[in-house]
Amino acid sequence: MRAVRLAANELRRLTANRMQKFAVAGVCIIPLIYGVLYLYANWDPYGKLHNIPAALVVNDRQELGEKVAKQITDKDSFGWRRVDSQRAEDGVRSGEFGFALTIPEDFSNSLLSPGTASPRQAQMLLTTNDANNFLLSTFAGTLTSQVRAAVAAEAGTAAANKLLLGFGQIYQQTGQLADGAGQLADGSRAAAGGAAALAGGAHQLATGSEQLVAGSERLANGTSSVADGAGQLSGGLNTLRDRTANLPAQTEQLADGAEQVARGNRKLADTVNPLGAASNDFAAKIAKARQDINSNPALLLNPMGLAEINRIFDAATGPALRANDKVQGFVGPVNQLADGSEQVAAGARQLANATPALSGGIREAADGGARLADGSRQAATGASTLHSGLVTAGGGAEKLADGADELADGTGRIADGSGTLKSKVDEGRNRIPNPSDAQRDGIAKVIGDPVGIEKSAMTKAPTYGAGLAPMFIGLALWVGAFSMFMIVKPLSTRALGRPLRPTITAIGGWLPTTALGVVQACLLFGVLTLGLGLKPAHPVLTLGFLLLVSMTFSAILLGLIAMFGAQGRFAALVLLLVQLISSGGTFPWQTTPDPVHALHEILPMGFVVDGLRRLLYGADMSQMWVNIGMLLMYLVGGLALATYAAYRKRVWKITRLQPDLA
């Protein structure tokens, strides 16, 4: 109870006059000034980014460039203004614009370049100036990353759609290939049958060629014999021509003489009738011989033709000889001799007249025999050439037969291979994607943007200010506790001069600051929840935890200031700065340098921040006992230090009356 009386006395002292009351009120609202005003100013900065002017330069006037520009401006994330390049650069330099984003002229062509032989990356130019604001550059970088991801997803979707469309075309063309392979197989089988027939015909051709070679050999031999016979015929006809060359003149002379004889013997005609009959028979025989010669010219082309002509002439001259015998035997019958002489004269004249034609025919026969001999020799030569060619053709026919056999085997293998090709093409075709239009669009979207993030937040701070609230609430309560010792004495001088236990003196000095701290915590909680709209998941527990934090900070500062005086205040300020960097209130404490990690594990502010996060956002509460336990330990430690200070300060020293640092 003595400690309570000491606290009451201190509170009465603090409110003894109006200025002191104002001072107490000011101390109570310091946490509001520090914490609430800062959180109010930064409660939702991302929701007001549209107030930041930003320059957008669109040099790409194609469809894709305009489409990306529309996506950027539709986001309404910044106060976008479309300007030219020079205006954007000058505006960022002067601070008129926070930053500038430029879509270059070749942006669309670069996006479409993956479908060409020279693919290149599409670029956007982000121009920042940290002199405007460092975090503004960070915000702009985050925005451009989001824009880049959106454009990449859209471009990837378009490329995937085109790729899948190509697969569909490949599927159709593969079907055509399979059909062609089937036709090839059918044609190959037909070709195999034709090749087999060709092989059979080629073998027949080879056999016929062998027979033809044998026949051509016989033909060559026969034409050689014909050529020899034609040569003999030509020689005989030449001899006949030579021997009958003077026949026309001789027959002419014969005709003249016969006429003279006829005129001389006309007078003896009546007596030489038998001679006339014989001569008449002779003339008939001669005429018949002429007719035989004229009607059978083939005899002149035969090697035996000359003998036949001699036989004919022998047959013709035989009666003449008998007539001559009769004329010798019947000289008396001159009349018959005259008739015969006239007939002989007439026949001789006829013979003389016909002899030139006979001589010409013999000459023509001789010339024809010569031509026949030449032609026969040429025919013999041609027959020999034909035989040689047929021998060569026979060898070619055999090769053709062998090749036809190989062709039949090859076309059979082609038919088998074509069948296998068709089955494999069909099998491969079934593995080629062939989605419908709707399926292709869905697949293209997944390929273009394959990774999605399904956010599952166990706890979530609704605003930026709510996210920073745990840190700034703790700092505000520390500053509030620090400011209380500007008007509150850590230890009562009257109590130090009385025989009170140091514990009572320490608690008596702690209770007034605790009372003011409760007021600070309640005011801070009320303004944050009712004024700024902070909605703790556990409001009652949050208020109770704030009271514990305020009491703990009061005890820590009481112990430092009571023990070390002005040096303790300086230590409290240094401790505040150290806790700013180690508490993990803004960035995760794991991102700080390693030496700072140990400070996070032992200093109270880290436990305050962790506890408030769990209470405000509704996280797991199992760790709260650790946070509460650590704060209670610091509270007891602060009171223990203050108790030790009260024990030591019962003895007055010169340094207390004249301290080195006030």
Give the pTM.
0.56
Q: What is the pLDDT of residue 440?
A: 61
Q: Would you give the distance in Å from CA 499 to the centre of its chain?
A: 96
Helices within 432-463 (DSSP H only): 437-448
In the predicted structure, residue 604 carries a pLDDT above the cut 90: yes
Please report, to the nearest 10 degrees, the dihedral formed by the alpha carbons of residues 4, 20, 33, 639 taken in order: -30
More confidently predicted of 128 and 154:
128
Q: Identify the band that residue 629 occupies on the pLDDT scale cut at 50, 70 and 90.
A: very high
DSSP 36: I
Average pLDDT over residues 242-253: 70
On average, the pLDDT of the chain sits at: 74
Residue of 264, 392, 393, 281 whose CA lies nearest to 335: 264
Spatial separation of the C-alpha atoms in residues 69 and 108, rounded to whole Å: 12
DSSP 649: T
Q: Identify the band that residue 558 occupies on the pLDDT scale cut at 50, 70 and 90.
A: very high
Strands (E) across 458-554 are located at: none
Q: Identify the band that residue 648 occupies on the pLDDT scale cut at 50, 70 and 90.
A: confident
Taken in order 78, 79, 84, 88, is the CA torsion positive or negative? Answer: negative
Q: Identify the band that residue 79 occupies on the pLDDT scale cut at 50, 70 and 90.
A: confident
Spatial separation of the C-alpha atoms in residues 371 and 381, rounded to whole Å: 15
Q: What would the pLDDT profile of 289-316 be if each residue is shown by its tens digit? A: 656 665 655 555 555 555 666 666 566 5
In the predicted structure, residue 646 carries a pLDDT above the cut 90: no
Tokens matching residue 418: 């074509």
In contact, 318 and 326? CB cutoff 8 Å: no
Task: Provide, rounded to the nearest whole percent, the portion of the chain with pLDDT above 70.
Answer: 53
Between the ranges 261-265, 268-272, 627-631, where is the mean pLDDT highest?
Answer: 627-631
In the predicted structure, residue 66 carries a pLDDT above the cut 80: yes
Q: What stretch of H or E contains 128? A: strand 125-128
Segments making up each domain of the chain, as ranges:
2-44+463-649
CA distances to 96, 413, 598 from 178, rounded to whole Å, are 67, 18, 72
Spatial separation of the C-alpha atoms in residues 369 and 231, rounded to whole Å: 8
| Range with lowest mean pLDDT among 35-39, 107-111, 275-279, 615-619 | 275-279
More confidently predicted of 205 and 88:
88
In contact, 418 and 177? CB cutoff 8 Å: no
Number of other CB atoms surrounding residue 54 within 10 Å:
25
Taken in order 462, 463, 465, 467, is the CA torsion positive or negative? Answer: positive
Beta bridge partners of 102: 57, 125
Number of other CB atoms surrounding residue 658 within 10 Å:
8
More confidently predicted of 121 and 197:
121
Beta bridge partners of 127: 100
Q: Identify the band that residue 237 occupies on the pLDDT scale cut at 50, 70 and 90.
A: low
Q: Identify the band that residue 256 occupies on the pLDDT scale cut at 50, 70 and 90.
A: confident
